[in-house]
Chains A and B, each alone.
Chain A
Amino acid sequence: MHVRYGVPDLHNVKPTMENLKEKILGVVLDVAQENSPQLEAVRPDQMLVEDLGLRSLDLARIVAKLEMVLGVDPFAELVAVTSIRTPGDLIDAYSKCFTGEGESAEGSESESEGASAPRQRSGLASQRDLRKQSRGE
């Protein structure tokens, strides 16, 4: 997927849901293929860590690439990045930027936590996990 280096004018860019999904899955696939070149596609329900082998820095790269493509960063205020476990979570997070959902950071965080509670923790971008890593736990 070609990543455009340049922040789009947000007023002119409002991707459709299908378009948004396609762009996000494309960027996730781009990054995942660097570790797993044989990977041909990613699904919204796959776990970023367990299924796709991504690490916290990979998620940071995905978010940076998506900011270039979409011109928004939902993790600046709207959504807690620690709630992201799957490409589907990413699609939900970015769709909030374009639908106006989750205008309050508190609301979106509690919604994300609630939605992801049954899932296992992925360990992505979690400060607690990083601290554990640094202590060798």
Chain B
Amino acid sequence: MKNEIQTARPVAVVSGGSRGLGQAIVTELMLHGLTVATFSRSKTPFVDEQTAADPQAKRFRWESLDGADAQALAGFARGVLQRYGRIDALVNNMATLGDGLLTMMRDADIHRQVSMNLESAIFLTRACLKGMLPQGSGSIVNISSVNALRGHKGVSIYSATKAALIGLTKSLAVEVGPAGIRVNCVAPGYFSSDMTAAFTDEQRARIARRTPLKRLGTVEDIAKAVWFLLSPESSFITAQVIAVDGGFVG
């Protein structure tokens, strides 16, 4: 078959792996020997660097994709299966944050968040499961948020989508567990990223004061938890939510 690479390496699909947390997850998984396929709307220097180092996409594959397009997501997963012959891991990382009071939000912004944060995870998961079910193995990690566990002003839709991912995780874990597939969730607390870039120093200091470990998280903190849940080290863990938040008390 054209463009097909049969690989013994585990293959991971990561949504939104071109920057921020997604980039850190892709990096962590590649460090552990996985082949990673990811997508985002636009290229970043990280994507340019990886594709330049691996022009035949043997270890890293990137596509430009609108995460709100369910058919495109299914096509992406099919393309990964066609290319590498397997999908062993999936990280539903892609998300968009539209903050603001609910009553002030435009319909389009609400739909966009639900589509990008929740529906995309559902459709991508369904597509990737078609590779995992025949193998009888696989591990899925959904990136939720501390906002799914505690209420915060101005992020009601974001929180709703992230809480829904926890529901998806728990039910799907029960559904596909007998087929050898694990499903877990990581709920990051506040960590340095594009989403927290607008925080003032005072806001950061306040978060650190309320965090027993006295700092904001890093993308590496989250990526290592994701790797743990994907790895054989967690082979008896499923349907769980791990908060990576330094013990943040709200």
Spell out A's residues near B (CB within 8 Å): 3, 5-9, 57, 60-61, 64-65, 67-68, 73
Contact = CB atoms under 8 A, between A and B. Distances in A.
Given A5-B85, A8-B1, A67 B178 contact: no
Consensus secondary structure, chain B interface: helix
Contacts of A8: 1
B134 A6 contact: no
A6 B4 contact: yes
7 contacts: A5-B86, A5-B135, A7-B81, A57-B179, A61-B136, A65-B133, A65-B134
B135 A6 contact: no
**A8, A67, A73 — which one has the most chain B CB atoms within 10 A of its CB?**
A67
Interface of B: 1-2, 4, 6, 78, 81-82, 85-86, 129-131, 133-136, 175-176, 178-179
Given A6-B1, A8-B1, A9-B1, A61 B81 contact: no
A64 B129 CA distance: 8
Contacts of B85: 5-6
Given A6-B1, A7-B81, A68 B178 contact: no
Given A6-B85, A7-B82, A57-B175, 19 more contacts: A5-B81, A5-B85, A5-B86, A5-B131, A5-B134, A8-B1, A57-B176, A60-B129, A61-B133, A61-B134, A61-B136, A61-B179, A64-B129, A64-B131, A64-B133, A65-B134, A68-B130, A68-B131, A68-B134
